[in-house]
Structure 1
Amino acid sequence: MADDVDARAAQVSAFGHDLLAGLSKTPRSIAPKYFYDAAGSALFDRICALPEYYPTRTELGILERHGREMADQMGSRVDVVEFGAGSLAKIRLLLDAFSERDALGRYFPVDISAQHLEGAARRLRTDYAWLHVQPVVADYMRHEQLRVLEQMPGRKVGFFPGSTIGNFDADEAMMFLQLAARLLAGGGLLVGVDLVKDPLTLHRAYNDSQGVTAAFNLNVLRRANEELGADFDLKAFSHYAFYDPLERRIEMHLVSSRKQTVHLAGSAFRFEEGESLHTENSHKFTIDGFRALAASAGFKPGPVWTDEAKLFSVHWLESPACHGDAA
């Protein structure tokens, strides 16, 4: 319990530091990882069930149809590390795909939201009593927070569903893949990747009719008010999401509806009407483009599974037992 409290305190401090830095920049931005406190994680679970939001149900369908093939690639007696584990819904399909209960070693779900992670892990232990589940409260982009996993003996494979890789910019994606290749050396990574498609489909996915995505976006401001003592007026900011075809990405913003001043940690930040806080990118990939990116990070690209409409893909990437960092 003490470790969880320390981890939450450290994360609040990191949130405050990063939000101050992001508000001081032009244009203003904040990393999307700060969406995921307990309330934000619950809202994202609701997003995943929306009719407009195709990625979750499409990826689940791929995992259901091809889970046995994926399990064969992962091999037996492996420890599974899930990055950004969330509600732990998708790992269940992989667990069910393994033919024997003893085919898996340990399962390490890694997530930034301690409260949400522990609750999901508790439910998973109940349903899979034979599985050793050890939650890791960490930012998986911070190598030092994953050292406990890197030092553990045995073959490790990673699971990174949901196309979270698309939330990174090019440098961050390369950094994560290089980190994962080192951590999983001798094993591999199973990763979900959203594909380039009709912009209208993308627009609907990030602008749902129920307004859940808007609430999810605004939740980062509510969190700043509650945890950091900021004074964002949530009614004075609006959710705005659009697809940039040249960058091949969805951009999410919170747009100020009027001139206003926001206070945080003794600093004042003036927003003009129409000025935004950039909260998330969601890059879309081609299959060949992502395989090339993975190869440049040190992975050996393997099989790729997609749905019939080619909306989404799941890639198996083998990580050689010994390799240096990619240039």
Structure 2
Amino acid sequence: MQALTDGYLAGAPRIRDRAFLHDVLDGLSRPQKTLPAKYFYDLEGSRLFEEITRLPEYYPTRTELAILRDEAAAIGRLSKPGLAVVEFGSGSTEKIRTLLRALPDVALYVPIDVSGEYLGGEAAQLRADLPDIEVVPVIGDFTAELALPPEARGRPLLGFFPGSTIGNFEPEAAEGLLARFRALLGSGSGLIVGVDLVKPDAILNAAYDDAAGVTARFNLNLLARIARELGVDLDPGAFAHRALFNRARSRVEMHLVSRHAQEIRVGGRTIRFAEAETIHTENSYKYRPADFEALAARAGWRREAVLTDPESLFAVFVLRAE
């Protein structure tokens, strides 16, 4: 993995094989087998996700981006002299570019991501295109303990957590994550969060099981990564992608389904799969605006604004730390 020589190495650092192996063994040893969604995003996984965001069925990215563009004036009122923007889980720069251009006083951008190689390329591109903004990337897991780089100290802070990534966490964990962001950014800081809203099942199911099969490849790439990085004799083709909206729990669930009875060896341990047994790889919770506002309030954030599209498919919450 390419090192970020001009970046800031966070205290909770790069994904190393030992941590990866531990998490894979832990997840695959449970009665309902699971794998942490954060491991989707190696270089190939990040590339596939960017492809997903351009699919006709996948509305969240283009809808959130349209909200950021259409509400630029409202967002611009959040700007303060010397502002530092901290993005949790940096991905494509299209959204952050839109945000940064709406904030006239922003001086520093701190993208945080576990994928160092991907982060390095995006940071370099931003530096070239927005030379008046200092870019200081942090390689780290935003769900773990982090410290902001020295360049952010003493500045007004605005967090940015787009892409409805908050929906990948169980509601209790989402509340805890927002509380962690509040502790990191401090009292009086701002936070912009993209939140996917409840909508008809057909729209949601198509968004996570597209006709071109890109989401399936994204899900199966997690198995390819395990095989490659952990030296596991594992055929991703022995599994199938499944995604379905669970309305009772208000979440889309993604699974990998074993096509037949099989076993694999991971870290010296044998993991057995029955035919049709699944690995639960991701949840994507969908919220009603009032429910998310209540969750954020419990984490120490006050709603300042809720920005939505005309069809109410998606919402961008503007929060302020109490």
Measured after TM superposition, the shift of residue 115 of structure 1 is 0.5
C-alpha separation between the residues in 1 aligned to 2:38 and 2:15?
A: 14
Counterpart of 2:115 in structure 1 is 113
Distance across 1 between alignment mates of 2:151 and 2:309: 33
Counterpart of 1:63? 68
Q: Does 1:23 align with 2:28?
A: yes
Using the TM superposition, name which of 300-309 and 88-97 deviates more.
88-97
Distance 1:222 1:190, change over 3 A: same
Distance change (3 Å), C-alpha of 1:2 and 1:160: closer
Q: Structure 1, residues 168-203: CA drift from partner, whole Å, max 9, x if none?
A: 012210111000111122211000000000110001
Choose 294-303 or 68-77, whichever is displaced more. Answer: 68-77
* Aligned residues of 1:109 and 1:136 also touching (Cα < 8 A): yes
Paired with 1:239 and 1:64, the residues of 2 have a C-alpha distance of: 34
CA–CA distance in 1 between the matches of 2:122 and 2:136?
A: 11
Q: Distance in 1 between matches of 2:220 and 2:272?
A: 18
Question: 2: distance between equivalents of 1:95 and 1:258?
Answer: 49
Amino acid at match of 2:289: I
Q: Is the Cα–Cα contact under 8 Å of residues 36 and 281 in structure 2 kept in the other structure?
A: yes
1:126 aligns with 128
Residue number in structure 2 paired with 1:174: 175
Give the equivalent residue in structure 1 for 2:91.
Answer: 86
Look up the match of 1:312: 314
Tell me by how many angstroms 1:8 deviates.
Answer: 7.4
CA distance in 1, matches of 2:107, 2:156: 9
Take 2:24 and 2:167, find their aligned partners in 1: how far apart are those partners? 21
Counterpart of 2:141 in structure 1 is: 139
**How far did 1:262 drift?**
1.1
Q: What's the counterpart of residue 78 of structure 2? A: 73
Q: CA deviation at 1:233?
A: 1.1
Is the Cα contact below 8 Å between 1:84 and 1:109 reproduced in 2? yes
Which letter does structure 2 place at the counterpart of 1:176?
Answer: L
Alpha-carbon offset, residue 300 of structure 1:
1.1
Is the 1:149–1:183 Cα contact (8 Å) retained in structure 2? no
1:323 match: none
Deviation of the 1:146 alpha carbon: 3.1
C-alpha displacement of 1:147: 5.4
Identify, as 1 or 2, the structure richer in helix.
1
Query: What is the CA RMSD across the aligned residues, in angstroms?
Result: 1.9
Matched-pair identity in %: 45
- The 1:149/1:85 distance shift into structure 2, 3 A limit, reads farther
Q: What aligned pairs does 1:210-229 form with structure 2 within 5 A after superposition?
A: 210-229=212-231
Counterpart of 1:304 in 2: which secondary structure?
A: strand
Aligned equivalent of 1:44, options 44, 49, 53: 49
Unaligned runs of 5+ in 1: 321-327
2:153 corresponds to 1:152: yes
Tell me how far apart the structure 2 counterparts of residues 114 and 161 of structure 1 sit (CA, whole Å). Answer: 19
Give the 3 Å change call, closer, same or farther, for CA 183–36 of structure 1 in structure 2.
Answer: same
1:258 counterpart letter in structure 2: H
Partner of 1:205: 207
TM-score, with length taken from structure 1: 0.92
SS of 2:297's partner is helix
- How many Å apart are 1:108 and its aligned residue? 0.3
Q: What secondary structure is seen at the aligned counterpart in 2 of 1:51?
A: coil
Residue 234 of structure 1 deviates from its aligned partner by 0.9
Separation (CA, whole Å) in 1 of partners of 2:286 and 2:150: 30
SS at match of 1:146: coil
Kindly provide the amino acid, as one letter, of the partner of residue 194 in structure 2: G
Kindly report which structure 2 residues correspond to 1:234-253, keeping only aligned pairs within 5 A, or say none: 234-253=236-255
Quote the Cα distance in structure 2 between the aligned partners of 1:182 and 1:13: 29
Alignment of 1:247-286 (within 5 A): 247-286=249-288
Q: Distance in 2 between matches of 1:74 and 1:319?
A: 15
2:18 matched to 1:13? yes
Q: Answer yes or no: is the 8 Å Cα contact 1:304–1:314 preserved in 2.
A: yes
User: Residues of 2 paired with 1:32 and 1:77: CA distance?
Assistant: 35
In structure 1, the partner of 2:164 is 163
1:51 partner letter: P
CA–CA separation in structure 1 for the residues paired with 2:13 and 2:158: 27
SS in 1 for 2:253: strand
